[in-house]
Structure 1
Amino acid sequence: MSATDGRLGFVIKRAEQALIARKSAALREFGLTVPQYAALLLLAEAGDTGMSAAQLARESLVTPQTMATVLTNLETKALIERGPSPLHQKVVVNRLTAAGAALLTDADDAALRVERHLSAAFTEPELAAFTSLLERAVAALTATRS
């Protein structure tokens, strides 16, 4: 018997790594990493309001240091622009450029194909149950401290 047999956390991590590997491969043709894609997706949702690096890091589940690198790379590629927040002069807000929005449209199609491929492994009732169980797992893990 392996030390990882029956370990739910290990199975979840393997599934996450497989998904990230497939998304990474799909996004490579667009010159994007998964964290860069996630940042662009969040900025598209934010619209003209934009988001701070701290907000993006929290929403993307990466460290502030990682997000700083992600944003620098996106800015270098002219996919985002940075400017002062209209609400607080010390906060820098990141916004999608037209080039970033155009690239995101194509990259998102590729990422969605990966997700559809995963979804196709389940029947509709299984997918609904799977999603519900994952949401319950998130709730259970965020509600406890141990």
Structure 2
Amino acid sequence: MAALEAEIARRPGHNIKRAEQALMTAKAAVLREFELTVPQYAGMVVLSYLPGTSGAQLARICAVTPQTMATVLSNLEAKGLVTRTPSSVHQKVFVTKLTRAGNALIKRADVKAHAVEDRLVAEFSDDERRLLADLLERAIKVLNG
């Protein structure tokens, strides 16, 4: 069993997945206070920078499926945190914006979620952070073909 665990631990995909899960678990823990999931938080952060973004654009930026983003936006709309109105350009596209309550909530939630990321990067020197970012970008590039 130990040999199998050692073999699995050497696989880069396993380590990347473990790191992602650890990050998402830590973010989920701090976002519970705000009754937000990590995908809801991610969508709201994007909307805070890019108001009027469509659901399809949000899905791409947040790296989730369009169906997942549709559910995320429906839940945020039900909570009064976003509004969705039909686009003046395309009937089937909805323009999504944070409400006043959504803006206030994401500002508070982002402080806590950002602290998780700060805790992560504080573990590395400046050179290590740059190297990690470069290595991850190379991995993304090679896997995206």
Asked if 1:17 corresponds to 2:41, the answer is: no
Deviation string 1:71-116 (CA, Å, 9 cap, x unpaired) is 1110011100010112223311111111101100011111110000
Q: What's the offset of the Cα at 1:5?
A: 3.1
- Kindly provide the amino acid, as one letter, of the partner of residue 93 in structure 1: V
1:127 aligns to what SS in structure 2? helix
Q: Which residue of 1 aligns with 2:38?
A: 34
Deviation string 1:103-140 (CA, Å, 9 cap, x unpaired) is 00011111110000000111111111111111111111
Deviation string 1:35-78 (CA, Å, 9 cap, x unpaired) is 0001101111112xx12211111211111221111111100111
Task: Kindly report the root-mean-square deviation, in angstroms, between the aligned alpha carbons of the 2 structures.
Answer: 1.1
- Kindly provide the amino acid, as one letter, of the partner of residue 79 in structure 1: L
How many Å separate the matches in 2 of 1:12 and 1:125?
20
Taking structure 2 as the reference length, the TM-score comes to: 0.92
Gaps of 5+ in 2: none
In structure 2, do the counterparts of structure 1 residues 5 and 90 end up closer, same or farther at CA, with 3 Å as the change threshold?
closer
2:91 aligns to what SS in structure 1? coil
- Kindly provide the amino acid, as one letter, of the partner of residue 54 in structure 1: A
Q: Which residue of 2 aligns with 1:77?
A: 79
Q: Which residue of 1 aligns with 2:12?
A: 8
1:60 to 59, 62, 74: 62
How many Å separate the matches in 2 of 1:134 and 1:93?
32
- Please give the residue correspondences for 1:92-131 in structure 2 after superposition, counting only pairs within 5 Å: 92-131=94-133
Sequence identity of aligned pairs in percent?
53
- Please give the residue correspondences for 1:43-54 in structure 2 after superposition, counting only pairs within 5 Å: 43-47=47-51, 50-54=52-56
Q: Which residue of 2 aligns with 1:88?
A: 90
How many Å separate the matches in 1 of 2:90 and 2:107?
30
Count, aligned residues: 141
4+ long deviations beyond 2 Å:
none
Gaps of 5+ in 1: none
